[in-house]
């Protein structure tokens, strides 16, 4: 540690056998006492001052790598109270951002489901939907989107904070820093699994409303109709594809965000603890945008398959795996990446907004006792 005194360090380094004779104890005491004679202390202090000056200079210039696993120690909420605040912050940021881009999502889903009809790009797709169904059609599925991503966002962000802490607590600081990428990926994957259990029924309802405008009039009627006609299986028919889509998406999202933000702070030349509110928000938004682009590209094929599989019922005896394989073969690589440009805009905007809002909400809710792994 940087602030560890010379005496503490030397005492720590003295071997302490389980059984020592009285003479050994006297000899050890004499060794420690002699090491702190004034003449030796002066030399040691000069050495420490010189090393600290070098350290300060290199740290200021950003050339001295400090490896740390930090958790805020100031008074604040702990345990269930703390993680419920993370849950609320994540729930709000996800429901707000996904709700705001519902019109883009409607057009993106139409392009994926009917590429021969909606083949004029994002702007052309907007015009086609409005001309054919009216401007109100752009808000199709808003209800299940807001509710579904409220639940999913809570588990996603709250779970990520929780599982990151659990994983870090299983190792020492140096090991955690060296393996921080594995921690980011593992925590985000586990959190997303539980988040998708909550999201899947509402996502199935949303896609049914968007792909079949006459299916039902709103969230509750559509939800009840699926439950009545198809049972629980109707809600979770897309659970495999949604895991296939969301887990890689979330892993790329959080890992990219963490890495890009770490590099951005290093390049900015100011420790994270000293960033102003506007500086932190700016860096969160920029890093979130890049993370969104990465996550959207990685998860695009699964997103297309999810839209397809939720559009229609399975045939008798047809398995989810069989349907996915069949659809992937029919679509090909080009078809699987249909609507990517639209989704890059949507997901990039969503992710940037999420991390920007999440950071502000954490501060507003007093949820600052978060674990951070850094090499900065």
**Which 3-state string (H, E, C) describes the chain?**
CCCCCHHHHHHHHCCCCCCCCHHHHHHHHHHHHHCCCHHHHHHHHHHHHHHHHHHHHHHHCCCCCCCEEEECCCCCCCHHHHHHHHHHHHHHHHHHHHHHCHHHHHHHHHHHHCCCCCCCHHHHHHHHHHHHHCHHHHHCCHHHHHHHHHHHHHHHHHHHHHHHHHHHCCCCHHHHHHCHHHHHHHHHHHHHHHHHHHHHHHHHHHHHHHHCCCCCCCHHHHHHHHHHHHCHHHHHCCHHHHHHHHHHHHHHHHHHHHHHHHHHHHHHCCCHHHCCHHHHHHHHHHHHHHHHHHHHHHHHHHHHHHHHHHHCCCCCCCCHHHHHHHHHHHHHHHHHCCCHHHHHHHHHHHHHHHHHHHHHHHHHHCCCCCEEEECC
Q: Residue 372: beta bridge partners?
A: 70
* pLDDT band (50, 70, 90) for residue 124: very high
The partner residues of 68 in beta bridges, in order of sequence, read: 374
**How many angstroms separate the Cα of 7 from the Cα of each of 33, 258, 348?**
10, 38, 53
- Look at the pTM and tell me if it is higher than 0.85: no
Q: What is the pLDDT of residue 218?
A: 85
At 62, the pLDDT band (50, 70, 90 cuts) reads: very low
Residue showing tokens 């890689």:
248
Residues of the chain with CATH 1.50.40.10: 68-374
Rounded Cα gap, residues 258 and 49, in angstroms? 34
Using the predicted structure, report yes or no on whether residue 63 has a pLDDT greater than 70. Answer: no
How much is the average pLDDT of 123-147?
A: 91
**Residue at token pair 């949507």:** 346
Tokens of 266: 């290093």
pLDDT at site 70: 53
Residues near 5 by Cβ (< 8 Å), separated by ≥ 6? none
Q: Which residues of 341-356 are buried (b: 16+ CB within 10 A; e: fewer)?
A: ebbbbbbbbbbbbbbb
Of 14-28, 72-86, 241-255, minimum mean pLDDT range: 14-28
Whole-number pLDDT of residue 49? 53
Fold held by 68-374: Mitochondrial carrier fold (1.50.40)
**What's the chain's average pLDDT?**
81
Q: What is the pLDDT of residue 20?
A: 46
Most confident of 51-60, 269-278, 359-368: 359-368
Q: What average pLDDT does this structure show over 87-99? A: 95
Q: What Rg value do the Cα atoms of the chain yield, rounded? A: 27
Residue 74 is predicted with a pLDDT of 52
| Spatial separation of the C-alpha atoms in residues 376 and 374, rounded to whole Å | 6
Which residues are paired to 371 by β-bridges? 71
Q: Which is more confident, 325 or 151?
A: 151
Q: How many C-beta atoms lie closer than 10 Å to residue 104's C-beta? A: 20
Q: Which pLDDT value is given to residue 53?
A: 53
pLDDT at 325: 85
pLDDT (0 to 100) of residue 334: 86
Q: What percent of the chain has pLDDT over 70?
A: 78
The candidate with the shortest Cα–Cα distance to 345, out of 92, 89, 97, is 97
What's the start-to-end Cα distance of the chain, in Å? 15
Query: Average pLDDT, stretch 319-336?
Result: 84
Close Cβ partners of 87 (under 8 Å, ≥ 6 residues apart): 154, 155, 157, 158
Q: What is the pLDDT of residue 89?
A: 97
pLDDT at 10 over 50: no
| Unique residue bearing structure tokens 């805009």 | 345
Q: What band does 47 get if pLDDT is binned at 50, 70 and 90?
A: low
Question: What does the pLDDT read at residue 364?
Answer: 94
CA-CA distance, 43 to 41, in Å (whole number)? 5
pLDDT value of residue 113: 79
**Lowest mean pLDDT across 36-50, 129-143, 229-243, 300-314:** 36-50
pLDDT for res 75: 60
Task: From 215, 309, 91, 133, select the one nearest 223 (Cα to Cα).
Answer: 215
Distance CA 258, CA 294 (A): 13
For residue 275, is pLDDT > 90? no
């Amino acid at each position: 540690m940087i602030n560890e005194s010379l005496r503490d360090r030397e005492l720590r380094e003295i071997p302490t056998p389980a059984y020592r004779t009285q003479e050994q104890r006297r000899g050890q005491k004499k060794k420690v006492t002699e090491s702190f004679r004034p003449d030796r202390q002066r030399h040691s202090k000069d050495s420490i001052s010189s090393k600290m000056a070098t350290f300060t200079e290199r740290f200021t210039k950003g050339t001295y790598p400090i490896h740390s696993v930090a958790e805020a120690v100031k008074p604040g909420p702990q345990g269930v109270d703390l993680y419920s605040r993370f849950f609320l912050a994540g729930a709000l940021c996800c429901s707000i951002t996904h709700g705001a881009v519902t019109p883009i999502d409607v057009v993106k889903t139409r392009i994926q489901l009917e590429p021969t009809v909606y083949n004029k790009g994002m702007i052309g797709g907007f015009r086609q939907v409005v001309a054919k169904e009216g401007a109100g059609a752009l808000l199709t599925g808003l209800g299940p989107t807001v509710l579904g991503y409220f639940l999913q966002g809570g588990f996603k962000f709250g779970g990520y904070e929780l599982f990151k802490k659990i994983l870090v607590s299983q190792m020492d600081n140096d090991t955690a820093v060296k393996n921080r990428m594995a921690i980011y990926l593992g925590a985000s994957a586990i959190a997303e699994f539980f988040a998708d259990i909550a999201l899947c029924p509402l996502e199935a309802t949303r896609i049914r409303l968007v792909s079949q405008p006459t299916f039902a009039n709103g969230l509750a009627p559509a939800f009840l109709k699926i439950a009545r006609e198809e049972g629980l299986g109707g809600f979770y028919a897309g659970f495999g594809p949604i895991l296939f889509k969301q887990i890689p998406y979330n892993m790329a999202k959080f890992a990219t965000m963490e890495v890009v933000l770490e590099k951005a702070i290093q390049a900015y030349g100011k420790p994270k603890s000293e960033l102003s509110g506007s500086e932190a928000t700016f860096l969160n938004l920029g890093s979130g945008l890049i993370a969104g682009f990465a996550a959207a590209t990685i998860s695009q094929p699964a997103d297309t398959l999810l839209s397809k599989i939720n559009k229609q019922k399975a045939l008798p005896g047809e398995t989810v795996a069989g349907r996915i394989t069949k659809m992937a073969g029919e679509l090909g690589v080009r078809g699987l990446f249909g609507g990517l440009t639209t989704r890059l805009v949507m997901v990039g905007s969503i992710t940037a907004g999420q991390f920007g809002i999440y950071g502000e909400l954490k501060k507003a809710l007093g949820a600052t006792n978060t674990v951070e792994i850094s090499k900065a």
